[in-house]
Chain A
Amino acid sequence: MKQCHQFTASHDRRHWLQTTACGFGALAFQAFAHRIARAAGSGLDHKPQANRVIFLFMHGGVSQVDSFDPKPALSEYNGKKLPFKGIENLDVSLKDKAGYGKLLDTTWKFQQYGESGAWVSELWPHLAKHADDLCFIKSMHTKGTSHGQAVSMIHTGNDNLLRPSVGAWVSYGLGAENENLPAFISITPPAGHGGTRNYGSAFLPAHHQATALGHSSSKTEDATIDYLQPADAHSAHQHRQLEMLNEINKKHFGKSRDPQLDGVIRSYELAARMQGVAPELIDISKESKETRELYGMDRKETSSFGHRCLLARRFCEAGVRYIQVSTPYVWDQHNNLVKGHTKNALSVDKPIAGLLEDLKQRGMFDDTLVVWGTEFGRTPVAQNKNGRDHNPAGFTVWLSGAGVKAGFSHGSTDEFGYFAQDDKVHMHDLHATILHILGIDHKKLTYRYAGRDFRLTDVYGEVVRDILA
């Protein structure tokens, strides 16, 4: 009985620390917990290949058969019926009564690039030059035929329920590299299709959620961290105000020694440091002309996404663990595929290629994992005259940088690019693989909530070993 009692007490103390000593204190505690976890052999069980992730999210659904997964059969059978049943619950207009649709050939020419001979369509001329840096997964599949579900799936591993986002799990698992900055930053995250839940912490402690810079429809140059700067002029004296505050708080703490109060003191200190560091990071005015051009910031079409990618690199350099960059919700071409995809690819192709190049030049390519993804692909059958519907059954993502084979392609779809067929990779598998590359075993990174140990991949997920470098 006595032992039992003691157990309760020590458990409770740990919990007490966990729930109250937050902010700066929490980071310290986290680092401490992190070391314990390593020593105990749980959670972080192998040497990480990457120290951070940049996730480039193409919101709306990029068509794989028009980008990286060429299907010659499409041109042969353009306008003919799909010879098998398509997925359920898609738009009725693209099917005839039997549930079949008519195939639609791609408009864009494909060509092989680099030594790896990767196929890339003319939509992606700049990225094509990096063919030998890319590792394609052409057999992706996911859950959810609507954006809401699939966007939630790619960000949180669940198509319906609120769960922590990938970046929040990474922050929880690895903590911050730079104590003056959050571990997870989302640049212009989508405000629709779940909005904040796509970069939230759900039931994980709140400081694991992303610090957001604006949202997907804000102008990149205006995107900033909330309340980073004082609201009015009198704050010219803010440093003195903080000194005064610190004195008052310390006196209060001195009487009580309550760690909660210490947490408040540290949170003001950290905030003040963030206030010193972050604005400079967000301000790109000191970047050279060459760098700006590398990201396409000199051209109207590419300046916005180029700016976002450049910010990602800057946060990366500053030691942020997980950085997401999102396009607006523009890829959803049920109509106007040719015009839409041309415009969208144009706006991101050069900036992404620039980012890869820049990471290389700065020697960061070797410990940074870049993931390019979309919530689902698009059907090889036509919707309307010039469009494609959602396709969660088969699509392409690519990874690049630390931890993955360069100039490699994994998995395939069927002859028309509809269903993932060989070496299928589910979204859960992609998540497991990203965590693996960061040195985390996805089955061991758990958090207890409502009586259950939750993990990013739920009860699923398998590391795609074939693509690991």
Chain B
Amino acid sequence: MWDAMSQTKLITIVLSAFFGVGAITASNVVASDGRATQVDFFETTIRPVLVEHCYECHSAEAGEAKGGLRLDSKQGWLVGGDSGPAIIPGKPDESHVLLAINYSGDMSEMPPKSRLSSKVIRDFTQWIEDGAVDPREDEGSAVQKRVIDIEAGKKFWSFQPRQTFSEECSIDGLARPQSPPASADKLVRRLFLDVIGLPPTLEEQRNFQAVYSNESPGRAVEVFLEDLFGRKEFGEKWARHWLDVARYADSNGSDFNLTYPEAWRYRNYVIEALNDDLPYDQFLLEQIAGDLLPYDTLEQRNQQLVATTFLMVGPKMLTERDKEKMRLDIADEQLDTISRATMGLTLGCARCHDHKFDPIPTTDYYALAAILHSTLTTDGILMNNVNISGWKETDLLINEDERQRLETFRSKIKNIEENIQQKKQQRDKVLDSVAGVLVDDIDATRKGKWRKSTHRPKYVGDHYLVADDQESPFSIEWKAALPKPGRYELRVSFRGGKGLATKAHYTVHHAEGENQVVVDQTVLPSIDQLWQPIGQFECDTHVVVNLAGSATDKPVLADAIRLVHVEDLEKDMPTDTSSLDEEIKHLEEALAGIKKDSPKIPRAMASQDNGSERIGDLHIRIRGETKNIGEKTPRGFLQVVSWNGAAQPSIPAHQSGRVQLAEWITAKENPLTARVMVNRIWQHLFGRGIVETSDNFGVRGTVPSNPELLDFLAEEFVNSNWSVKSVIRKIIRSKAYQQAVTEFSEEIVERVQFQKQYRRPAPAETIRDSLLALSGKLDGEPRDSVVSEFGMYAIESNGKRHVSLGQTGKLRQRSVYLPVVRGAIPPSLAIFDFPNPDLVTGKRATTTVPAQALFMMNSPFVHEMSHALSLLLLQNNVTIEKSIQQLYRRVLIRQAGHDEVSKGKKYVAELIEEGQPLEQAFASFVQVLFCSAEFRFIE
């Protein structure tokens, strides 16, 4: 059985490594028989195998050409599939078909179900070696490789240049609104919820009403819009829209849900950028390449560094053991995020094959991916585990002094560390010269459970041993034969540290009997941090040292022992060793002291370019497989997104190319960037975009319902120096925005052409923040890190999570400052369609599911808000009627109807009659309004 087994495997290995050699022998026999024989050979030996095992997925008849490959004609394998020609006549070792059927690991394994027999593989090897004679010249329909026509692709609307417009052109001229302006109540509510995500106060409602009726609806909007633009709440509302697109989160999610303690800086950067109306082109430039941009001040540098967190906050498979695959996956994730967020293009498809719908060849994908692949995202390892990658963080310096201080500090530390190292080497030299007898664990006798390990940085030989399965007693015994009798110093080796046994019991059997020595293994040994002298003993020619224990709860280490004759100690140990020890001790103390005073430097999760060895172009990965390497592609941009015949920017060899990437994206001529952004803004103010698929402007997206309007807004955006506020202002000031909601009808066409405003669900944040604000519970202060208290793990692999992660319902800050832990989004947001932060989401789902109803009816949060507002409204001892009127005015921003007041009154009265206190009965009614559809929608 063993032989049969190893033979099969052996053949596989030999074949994959040496089939060339084997084939040559075979070919000598067959080649002389001429072509007829070769055709014969094909017909009897090769064709039946192809028909039986390959045609199912690689033939015209089956309608399948997996991997783009067809094997039902000669042309099929000559042209080949995604990996190029499948068979190279005469060269079996370069023929993909043979590599695949060999299951050699370099290609996909084919056929996928089971490996073909060794004989068949030998036959194929021989056939290819002989020139792969294939008579199927005319069989199968013509095989053509699809080639993307970039020029034809450019004709698609979104790749075309924008139209230009005359000065008289306006939003209303293009959108042709038909409804009258919304009522003052509806309009003020819409304006506040859309711009700052919070409802207007009673006073604001009154003031708005005054301007609305004394002057005009448009004037009221103008006045209040400028006021709202000046509030920090504007950025806090609109930042969330961008954070959706930037798939922002405070933890990694994915396989290993580590906390991102520094991600918050990016969240606050986005809020500030919007409040300061940072030009959108600059905003993108900083996020993609902020670390590479020049700066005048350190503040500016810091801001730009923080902006690049955009690249970093995606979910990463940190435990992926194939690190090149991990880097390619991360570059893919970053590229997909950038392209969808800024240009509404999905590039992910082109990683494995030419994009099936959009004119994006695989070469374009790798040209772009190489730019991100040349960027440092993951860095170092975590938890001392080579399989777990960490990520890059960078110091944020506030001023020159601080930089000086930090540099001085670091060089001081470095000097001392180098000094210590030097001294230790000197000491090691001295110690190494000490003669002695060494016995390693490998020559010792063991009993019980010992496990080999190489985890700790220092040990003797290949490994050391750990006893950590403490159910049974364990022991290890070293026997040393000594060259001569005398007094010896016994040293035992173990790399001490936290978590080890504090009492390791050594027994030394020597000429005068035996001694017990207890060693604390949590302490680093004094010599070389590895060797611990444990006493001097009188010995004859043998010493036996035993280390034993049982049922301690901490692991015990065992490695080697060493016996040094005291004469050698005295002889070889110069008097200055102790002074060396002393010096080292002082230096280490000094180091610890300095480290204690280390300046606290804030850090950002910022990207940077790779070192020169990792900067460069990428090889295409055929079918996206890391190890299936194709041609190298120079870094560059999408061919289809180019303008005026302008040459695409060239990338300096020593840089990643992110600056050029960002410049290409934010060029005024880029047909996509401005359109995508104004469409996003329009969508947030009307409930749907002019292009409905706001993250997809490609062939598979929807076409703009009003192309002129889209281009007009995009032109205005670019011409206003990419001012986001200016686009919002233009839209909100339009009659189209201000008109009254039109009720739902079958005439959807009108909706599509954006002549009307429709009712739309309020986003999760607006519902939650409104509840807090109305109940007087909102804490309007900004927040910094909201996850640092969670420690290293947001959620551990066993599901354990920090207790406060389950109590987000108790937090009172605005929703944008709630922790966004992947896999644990606060329910108040998650239930109301908060997007999954693994994905770029420009357009949230709008669902109406029972979970929302359950939350509104049953959650402690809504109950608490209802009670708080109930108390607020009742505190002035006003009548129930008054309270109900107040309630409608505050919550629904309108006057209560007479019947509404009387019904509410009756409801409260009945509950009181049943024995409920007034506040509770009224709270119940408050909750009804919170639950109402009217409250949950923007009109």
Given contacts A146-B321, A147-B255, contact A217 B358 (CB under 8 A): no
Which residues in window 460-482 of B have CB below 8 A to A? 469
Contact of A89 with B322 in the complex, beta carbons under 8 Å: yes
Contact of A206 with B845 in the complex, beta carbons under 8 Å: yes
Residues of A within 8 A of B320 (CB): 146, 148-149
Closest Cβ of chain B to A191, distance in Å, is 3
Closest Cβ of chain A to B844, distance in Å, is 10
The answer to whether B53 has its CB under 8 Å from any CB of chain A is no
Residues of A within 8 A of B751 (CB): 12, 16
Contact of A84 with B13 in the complex, beta carbons under 8 Å: yes
Given contacts A190-B799, A245-B928, contact A261 B329 (CB under 8 A): no
Which residues in window 680-724 of B have CB below 8 A to A? 692-693, 695-696, 698-701, 705
Residues of A within 8 A of B254 (CB): 148, 194
The answer to whether A267 has its CB under 8 Å from any CB of chain B is yes
10 contacts between A and B (CB under 8 A): A8-B749, A13-B746, A149-B255, A152-B255, A191-B799, A194-B823, A249-B933, A252-B934, A423-B114, A452-B357
Q: In this complex, which of A191, A230, A240 has the most chain B Cβ atoms within 10 angstroms of its Cβ?
A: A191
Contact of B744 with A257 in the complex, beta carbons under 8 Å: yes
Partner of B924 from the list A207, A215, A241, A261 (CB cut-off 8 Å) is A241
Given contacts A152-B255, A384-B451, contact A9 B752 (CB under 8 A): yes
Partner of A261 from the list B800, B858, B933 (CB cut-off 8 Å) is B933
Residues of A within 8 A of B847 (CB): 22-23, 26, 205-207
Encoded as 1 (CB less than 8 Å from any A CB) or 0, chain B from 340 to 373 comes to: 1000001001000000011000000000000000
Contact of A227 with B854 in the complex, beta carbons under 8 Å: yes
The answer to whether B914 has its CB under 8 Å from any CB of chain A is yes
Contact of A252 with B823 in the complex, beta carbons under 8 Å: no
The answer to whether B838 has its CB under 8 Å from any CB of chain A is yes
The answer to whether A48 has its CB under 8 Å from any CB of chain B is no
Encoded as 1 (CB less than 8 Å from any A CB) or 0, chain B from 1 to 41 comes to: 11001100100110000000000000000000000000000
Closest Cβ of chain A to B889, distance in Å, is 16
A residues adjacent to B (C-beta < 8 A): 5, 8-9, 12-13, 15-16, 19-20, 22-23, 25-26, 73, 76-77, 83-84, 88-90, 93, 145-149, 151-152, 159-160, 162, 190-197, 200, 202-203, 205-207, 211, 215-217, 225-232, 234-235, 237-238, 240-242, 244-245, 247-249, 252-253, 255-261, 263-268, 270-272, 274-275, 328-329, 335-336, 384-386, 414-415, 421-424, 426, 448, 450-452, 459
Which residues in window 925-939 of B have CB below 8 A to A? 925, 927-929, 931-934, 936-937
Q: In this complex, which of B253, B340, B923 has the most chain A Cβ atoms within 10 angstroms of its Cβ?
A: B253
Q: Which segment, of B225-233, B582-590, B790-798, B812-820, faces chain A? A: B790-798
In addition to A146-B317, A329-B798, 20 A-B residue pairs with Cβ atoms within 8 Å of each other are: A13-B748, A22-B847, A73-B5, A83-B2, A192-B257, A197-B823, A197-B838, A206-B847, A215-B799, A237-B911, A244-B903, A244-B928, A247-B903, A260-B848, A264-B936, A271-B854, A328-B799, A385-B449, A415-B5, A452-B349
Contact of B796 with A192 in the complex, beta carbons under 8 Å: yes
Residues of A within 8 A of B748 (CB): 9, 12-13, 16
Closest Cβ of chain A to B899, distance in Å, is 9
Contact of A260 with B1 in the complex, beta carbons under 8 Å: no
Partner of B451 from the list A88, A252, A275, A385 (CB cut-off 8 Å) is A385
**A-B interface, 9 closest residue pairs, ranked by CB to CB distance from nearest:** A148-B255, A451-B700, A191-B799, A195-B823, A271-B853, A89-B321, A192-B797, A271-B850, A263-B848
Residues of A within 8 A of B836 (CB): 162, 197, 200, 202
Residues of A within 8 A of B823 (CB): 191, 194-197
Residues of B within 8 A of A242 (CB): 857
Given contacts A252-B934, A385-B449, contact A234 B920 (CB under 8 A): yes
The answer to whether B256 has its CB under 8 Å from any CB of chain A is yes
Identify the closest chain A residue to B747 (Cβ): A9
Contact of B854 with A448 in the complex, beta carbons under 8 Å: no
Closest Cβ of chain A to B684, distance in Å, is 16
Closest Cβ of chain A to B568, distance in Å, is 36
Closest Cβ of chain A to B101, distance in Å, is 14
Encoded as 1 (CB less than 8 Å from any A CB) or 0, chain B from 821 to 865 comes to: 011100100000100101100000111111111110111100100
Contact of A265 with B451 in the complex, beta carbons under 8 Å: no
Contact of B5 with A207 in the complex, beta carbons under 8 Å: no
Contact of A194 with B848 in the complex, beta carbons under 8 Å: no
Residues of A within 8 A of B933 (CB): 249, 252-253, 260-261, 264-265
Identify the closest chain B residue to A264 (Cβ): B933
Identify the closest chain B residue to A387 (Cβ): B451
Q: In this complex, which of A15, A203, A258, A328 has the most chain B Cβ atoms within 10 angstroms of its Cβ?
A: A258
Residues of B within 8 A of A25 (CB): 848
Residues of B within 8 A of A22 (CB): 846-849
Encoded as 1 (CB less than 8 Å from any A CB) or 0, chain B from 899 to 928 comes to: 010010001001100101000100111011
The answer to whether B424 has its CB under 8 Å from any CB of chain A is no
Which residues in window 215-257 of B have CB below 8 A to A? 253-257
Q: State in angstroms the CA–CA spacing of A26 and B851 once bound together.
A: 14
Partner of B749 from the list A9, A194, A197, A244 (CB cut-off 8 Å) is A9
Which residues in window 727-779 of B have CB below 8 A to A? 743-744, 746, 748-749, 751-752, 759, 761
Contact of B858 with A229 in the complex, beta carbons under 8 Å: yes
Closest Cβ of chain B to A193, distance in Å, is 6
Residues of B within 8 A of A423 (CB): 113-114
Residues of B within 8 A of A228 (CB): 854, 858
Contact of B321 with A145 in the complex, beta carbons under 8 Å: yes
Q: State in angstroms the CA–CA spacing of A203 and B833 once bound together.
A: 11
The answer to whether B454 has its CB under 8 Å from any CB of chain A is yes
The answer to whether B726 has its CB under 8 Å from any CB of chain A is no
Closest Cβ of chain B to A244, distance in Å, is 5
The answer to whether B801 has its CB under 8 Å from any CB of chain A is yes
Partner of B346 from the list A76, A260, A415, A452 (CB cut-off 8 Å) is A452
The answer to whether B112 has its CB under 8 Å from any CB of chain A is yes
Residues of B within 8 A of A19 (CB): 845-846
Residues of B within 8 A of A73 (CB): 1-2, 5
Identify the closest chain A residue to B933 (Cβ): A264
Contact of B321 with A206 in the complex, beta carbons under 8 Å: no
Partner of A147 from the list B700, B797, B857 (CB cut-off 8 Å) is B797
Given contacts A191-B795, A256-B759, contact A426 B700 (CB under 8 A): no
Residues of B within 8 A of A248 (CB): 900, 928-929, 932, 934
Residues of A within 8 A of B845 (CB): 19, 205-206
